Amino acid sequence: MLDIKALRADPEAVAAQLKKKGYELDVATFSSLEERRKAIQIDTEQLQQSRNSVSKQIGAAMKAGDKDKAAELKAQTATLGDDLNAAKDQLNEVQGAMESLLEGIPNIPHASVPAGKSEDDNVEIRRWGEPKSFEFTAKDHVDLGEALEMLDFEAAVKVTGSRFAVMHSDLARLHRALTQFMINTHVDEHGYSEVYVPYLVNAHSLKGTGQLPKFEEDLFKVPVDKESGNNDLYLIPTAEVPVTNLVRDEILGDINLHKKFVAHTPCFRSEAGSYGRDTRGMIRQHQFEKVELVHVCRPDRSEDVLEELVGHAEVILQKLELPYRTVILCGGDLGFSAHKTYDIEVWLPGQEKYREISSCSNMADFQSRRMQARWRNPETGRPELAHTLNGSGLAVGRTLVAILENYQNADGSITVPEALLPYMGGKTVLAKA
RNA sequence: GGAGGGGUGGCAGAGCGGUUUAAUGCACCAGUCUUGAAAACUGGCGUAGGUUAAUAGCCUACCGAGAGUUCGAAUCUCUCCUCCUCCGCCA
């Protein structure tokens, strides 16, 4: 959510910044709504004030035993109640309208975000590693995994449906090894605090991180009370939701506020609207594992923290010796809540393309404002909004895809990356039994 | 799943229809005293919104959440959430 005070002060300036994101802010609607809100709120509060004052006088009269005076004062309030209720209704309506308007406005992009409409306009920042040249025709992970009889999409269709996967034996172990390797690296070498969180969350949390109310169709909903639908839960689309919401409604006291969490969770996405995209293989699934990094920091640090965060994610690919490039997202490709985002794209020989494997974003105060995540600034002594950031470190399923395709051998076997050997119980190669 | 009891400021804890402007204690901050500290004493000490040049005043709201009764609700009623105790079931 944007700062309504900034919007009031200069809506045109905010609109100009949002334009970079391809979002047209309706300044006229905002301004007229704001004018109504102001008038109605002042009116309502004045009515409340007079009611409070009369009630107090009635109380005093009752106490003094002056029943006539009390009755007389009561008579005065005859229409006050109705007027007040009417005013309150109006106020609720206009405030509700203002809130939904605000909730629908995306975050403002950082000054360093390049202009552009789509992912084609993202700007490459750096490359690491050289795409390996094979002396044979490189296969994609589906052909490799199925030939090894370790990856089975048909079984997943039978058990559940499309966009799910079943993994067997050494491949399942490699998948698990990746998760352990990533978490250990972030905890032992990057100083993250490991956290285990629920995979089902309430609507309040999703509102805090910005998935609701706008993107409900991307989520899997789990009905709890079928009749009222009031307390329905949602499967998390990313650990960002439960982890970032740990600081919701908190005022953190740390003098140099900086929390770093790492969490491994499955992620569930309905992928509504992506029919036909990446239908082959494990690239786009309804369920996938992800190791997520979340930072909560003081506002003046978030720019630097974003650079640290991207670096931590990149280390995983470097240790796995997987070639990648890092891009900064252009305004048009930036997510709803993001202030600035770097994507890390890993080289996939099967597609001969760099594909997204991590997305690291500074949300600035956009999420904090929604969820009232604050810290006490020792310089002012007052609670101020913290900044939140998150990034994949990394998407486990896609990393597995990258390993299959980059570490494939001519006979269809897969060499285990050196960094994962300690987790593989002596296995050095994935080969057909 | 059944029975009962709770949710009040950073914490503990009173209040159970009307000067509540939420007592009191602890913690915290400032001051007095002191060479310094402690103790003692004095004062301060919530959050959000509105208005405003203002982080000055003033106003409004907030006692788990929402709705209701009332001139007036922390206090009464209803619904929900949540915690605790006991019983049952259970990885």
A272 Rama sector, left if φ>0, alpha if ψ -120 to 50, beta otherwise = beta
State residue A228's pLDDT score.
61
CA A22 – C1' B84 distance (Å)? 53
Choose the weakest-confidence range: A197-211, A221-235, A274-288, A316-330. Answer: A221-235
> Does residue A359 carry a catalytic annotation?
yes
Indicate whether A230 pLDDT > 70: no
A67-109 pLDDT tens trace: 778 888 888 777 777 888 888 888 888 988 888 899 889 999 9
Q: Which residue has the higher pLDDT, A230 or A149?
A: A149
A274-293 pLDDT tens trace: 888 888 999 999 999 999 99
List the one residue out of A122, A128, A138 whose CA is nearest residue A352: A138
Q: What is the mean pLDDT of chain A?
A: 92
> Does residue A36 carry a catalytic annotation?
no
A239 is in an annotated binding site: yes
State residue A96's pLDDT score.
87
Choose the weakest-confidence range: A36-40, A54-58, A78-82. Answer: A78-82
Residues 10-49, chain A, CB closer than 7 Å to nucleic strand B: 38, 41-42, 45-46, 48-49
DSSP state of A424: T
A352-394 pLDDT tens trace: 999 999 999 999 999 998 888 888 887 777 788 899 999 999 9
User: What's the rounded Cα separation, in Å, for the pair A181 and A399?
Assistant: 12
Q: What is the 3-state secondary structure (H, E, C) of A386-415?
A: CEEEEEEEEEHHHHHHHHHHHCECCCCCEE
Indicate whether A431 pLDDT > 90: yes
- A204: Cβ under 7 Å from strand B? no
Q: Which nucleotides of B are covered by protein (CB under 7 A)?
A: 18-19, 21, 47-51, 59-61, 71-72, 80-81
State residue A272's pLDDT score.
83
- A300: Cβ under 7 Å from strand B? no
CA A9 – C1' B81 distance (Å)? 38
Catalytic residue among A284, A325, A355, A376: A284
A124-155 pLDDT tens trace: 999 999 999 999 999 999 999 999 999 999 99
Which nucleotide is at minimal CA–C1' distance from A8?
A: B50
Which nucleotide is at minimal CA–C1' distance from A45?
A: B60
Which nucleotide is at minimal CA–C1' distance from A80?
A: B71
User: What's the rounded Cα separation, in Å, for the pair A274 and A161?
Assistant: 16
A387-421 pLDDT tens trace: 999 999 999 999 999 999 999 999 999 999 999 99
- A226: Cβ under 7 Å from strand B? no
Choose the weakest-confidence range: A50-54, A109-113, A140-144. Answer: A50-54
Burial of A243 (0-12, 13-18, 19+ CB in 10 A): buried
State residue A157's pLDDT score.
95
Residues 373-412, chain A, CB closer than 7 Å to nucleic strand B: 374, 382-383
Q: What is the mean pLDDT of residues A22-35?
A: 92
State residue A116's pLDDT score.
96
Q: Do A314 and A393 touch, CB atoms closer than 8 A? A: no
User: Where would I find the beta strands (DSSP E) of A21-177?
Assistant: 123-128, 151-152, 166-167
Catalytic residue among A359, A361, A368, A374: A359
Indicate whether A177 pLDDT > 70: yes
CA A291 – C1' B49 distance (Å)? 39
State residue A226's pLDDT score.
63
User: What's the rounded Cα separation, in Å, for the pair A315 and A307?
Assistant: 12
Q: What is the mean pLDDT of residues A306-322?
A: 98
> Does residue A217 carry a catalytic annotation?
no
